[in-house]
A and B are shown apart, each in its own frame.
Chain A
Amino acid sequence: MEIQPRDFHRDWVSEALQVGAILNSNNAELERQIRDLLVHYLEPAWAAEPQNRIAITGATNLTSDLTLDSFQVMEFLMEIEDALDVAIDMKSLSDVHTVADLAAVVARQLGS
């Protein structure tokens, strides 16, 4: 059957949406893993100062919401590297502000 341009376009969009959904679902799973790792990393500090405990979402800002300093962010990055067996270059962190940003960086490294 000859594929009409319109149909071809529809198939391409549909395929792209499906791939996007898989990627998004992988990212969502990755984001969940990172949130769990963050909770684990922050637990000792939260136990000492329970008032700082917050619910972590993708939009949670690592420095302003979780008050991590630059050293702690880099420390946490090493935890992610070991937990997910991935190498993350420090340059990748320059645009990372939120948990979702971090998940996207890890996803890129896992995909590369």
Chain B
Amino acid sequence: MALLDKFEAVAGIAAGLTGAGHNPTQVVIDEILSATEGLVEGRRTVLAGTNNYLGLTFDKACIAAGIKALETQGSGTTGSRMANGSFASHAALERELADFYGMPYGMVFSTGYAANLGALAALLSPGDSVLLDGDAHASLYDGCRMSGADVFRFKHNDADSLEKRMLRLGDRAQNCLIVAEGLYSVLGDCAPLRDFVSIRDRFGARLLVDEAHSLGVYGTHGRGVSEAQGVLDQIDFIVGTFSKSLGAMGGFCVSPHAELQLFRYVARAYIFTASSSPSIVATTREALHQLRSRPELREQLWRNARRLYEGVQALGFVTGPEMSPVVAVRIGSKEDALASWNRLLEKGIYVNLMVPPASPDSSSYLRCSVSAAHTPGQIETIIEAFKELRLAT
């Protein structure tokens, strides 16, 4: 096969996505009107698929912090922290994150993807074993694969499946890393972290939890599912992102293990990329401050999540297994889901389309992510659009 021939198949996939009207992967929001509304093809559109859980992207204090950083520190760092040095604000953000989680060590990366790639490839080596939840995010798969370790999947959120695989590893289990997410981004279900901690302890392994979608959402203080389940102080490594609840961009890893500081010397995704721009670091720090000081954002988020989850369930749709700010609505076939997604967009509702193999169970879903910034009226508009969808199918 010639080098470029493989793209014929990709072109076929792209054409299939466009078949029902709009291509879900190519939506352009011409104007961003607020954290929850945009203009798409001249239509005011409720943004219900942005992961902007706390709605902080237009927060005045965050924007002011970003502008100040632009004016005082410039537009970019123009290089890697290992080569060009760190800005004081990078180090400050690391201290603030570590403090937030009550852990001694913190490290930031330029994206959430880089955090998972960097942390996993630093932590694991060829000959090590990693037990990865079957529904884990692609960045976790890629990090494991990049490390050269032996990767074994266990059934999604299934502690028995994990335990069986640990047993099969024999002596290797004590040199093994268990990798799971707090909140899973497609169906909005949470990992049984207490069970995973108990298995980790029994075999003497380590546990890494990705709280990308649960930071700011779960736990009394918004520290994630680990906090909500009372095991935060027992997690070896927590990774996450700034691009969801914190409305910025970047990723992080915090840990009670001093070795995290040495990741800087071996994590290629940290070493060979430019560090985050000062304005991004500044808005992230301010957003973290907002997250810590305004628990009412989290309360509003959950009120909105409950209303949407119960609203679409009342229409007879099958949703994800538990109520969360990720509301996944099962549609069935890929073709039906694509057509339904188009209908919603034309009604002025933007959600995410999840089709196999990106969706976890060979079904297709329309995935909504709720924001604290959604007004009650916007939530009702989303439910009404699903109602029309129900009647039309």
Closest Cβ of chain B to A65, distance in Å, is: 17
Please tell me which stretch of A8-16, A77-85, A99-107 contacts chain B, meaning at least 4 of its Cβ atoms lie within 8 angstroms of it.
A77-85
Q: Are B362 and A78 in contact (CB under 8 A)?
A: no
**CB within 8 Å for A72 and B152 given contacts A82-B164, A87-B165:** no
**Contact flag A90-B357 (CB < 8 Å), given A72-B362, A75-B134, A81-B165:** no
Q: Is the interface of B mostly helix, strand, loop or mixed?
A: mixed
| B357 contact from A69, A78, A87, A89, Cβ within 8 A | A69
Q: In the complex the two chains form, is B153's CB within 8 Å of A77's CB?
A: yes
Chain A residue numbers with a CB within 8 Å of B161 are 78, 82
> In the complex, how many residue pairs between chain A and chain B have their CB atoms under 8 Å apart?
42
Given A85-B168, A87-B165, A87-B168, check contact A74 B151 (CB 8 Å).
no
CB distance from B188 to the nearest CB of A (A): 18
- Residue A91, interface by CB 8 Å: yes
Please report the C-alpha to C-alpha distance between residue A99 and residue B152 in the assembled complex, in whole angstroms: 20
With A70-B357, A86-B168 already in contact, the answer to whether A91 and B134 are too (CB < 8 A) is: no
Q: Do residues A89 and B168 form an inter-chain contact, with CB atoms below 8 A?
A: no
* Residue B92 interfacial (CB < 8 Å): no
Chain B residues within 8 Å of chain A by Cβ, number: 17
Contact partner, A87, options B134, B169, B356, B360, Cβ 8 Å: B169
With both chains docked as a complex, state the minimum distance between the C-beta of B153 and any C-beta of chain A, in angstroms.
6
Interface residues of B in 236-276 (CB under 8 A from A): none
For residue B150, CB closer than 8 A to chain A, the reply is: yes
Chain A residues within an 8 Å CB radius of B43: none
Within 8 Å CB of B134, what residues of A? 74-75, 78
Please name all residues of chain A whose beta carbon is closer than 8 Å to the beta carbon of B294 when the two chains form the complex: none
Say whether A37 faces chain B, with CB atoms less than 8 Å apart: no
Q: Which residues of B contact A86 (CB under 8 A)?
A: 168
Residue interface bits B337-376, CB-to-A below 8 A is 1, else 0: 0000000000000000000110010100000000000000
A39 within 8 A of B: no
Interface residues in A40-85 (C-beta closer than 8 Å to B): 45, 69-72, 74-75, 77-78, 81-82, 85
Interface of A is mostly: helix
Judged by a CB distance under 8 angstroms, whether B155 is at the interface is yes
| Min C-beta distance of A76 to chain B, whole Å | 11
Instruction: Give every chain B residue within 8 A of A75 (Cβ-Cβ).
Output: 134
Residues of A within 8 A of B165 (CB): 81, 87
Cβ of B356: which chain A residues have Cβ within 8 Å of it? 69, 71-72
Give the CA-CA distance A45 to B362 in the complex, in Å.
Answer: 10
Query: Closest chain A residue to B358 by CB distance?
Result: A71
A38 CB-CB contact with B under 8 Å:
no
Are A89 and B164 in touch, CB under 8 angstroms? no
Decide if A96 is an interface residue (CB 8 Å cutoff): no
Once the chains bind, are B164 and A72 in contact (CB under 8 Å)?
A: no
Residues of A within 8 A of B154 (CB): 78
What is the bound-complex CA distance between A17 and B152, given in angstroms? 34
Contact B153 A91 (CB under 8 A): no
Mark interface residues in B125-161 (1 if CB within 8 Å of A CB, else 0).
0000000001000000000010000111111000001
Selected contact of A74 from candidates B145, B153, B164, CB within 8 Å = B153
Q: A69-B356, A86-B168 are in contact. Are A78 and B155 (CB under 8 A)?
A: yes
By a CB distance below 8 angstroms, the chain A residues around B360 are 71
Most central of A45, A71, A72, A77 by chain B CB within 10 Å: A71
B150 CB contacts on chain A under 8 angstroms: 89, 91
B357 touches A72 (CB 8 A): yes
Instruction: Tell me, yes or no, whether A88 is within 8 Å of chain B by CB.
Output: yes
What 1/0 flags go to B79-105 for Cβ under 8 Å of A? 000000000000000000000000000
Q: How far is the CB of B90 from chain A (nearest CB, A)?
A: 34
Nearest B-chain residue to A79, judged by Cβ: B155
Say whether A91 contacts B357, CB under 8 Å. Answer: no
The chain A residues found within 8 Å of chain B, CB to CB, are 45, 69-72, 74-75, 77-78, 81-82, 85-91
The 7 closest A-B pairs by CB, nearest first: A71-B357, A69-B357, A89-B150, A87-B168, A90-B151, A70-B357, A87-B152
Beyond A71-B356, A78-B134, A91-B150, 8 additional contacts (C-beta under 8 Å) are A69-B356, A69-B357, A78-B155, A81-B152, A86-B168, A87-B168, A88-B152, A90-B145
10 A-B pairs with CB atoms under 8 Å apart are A72-B357, A75-B134, A78-B153, A78-B154, A81-B165, A81-B168, A86-B168, A89-B151, A90-B145, A90-B151
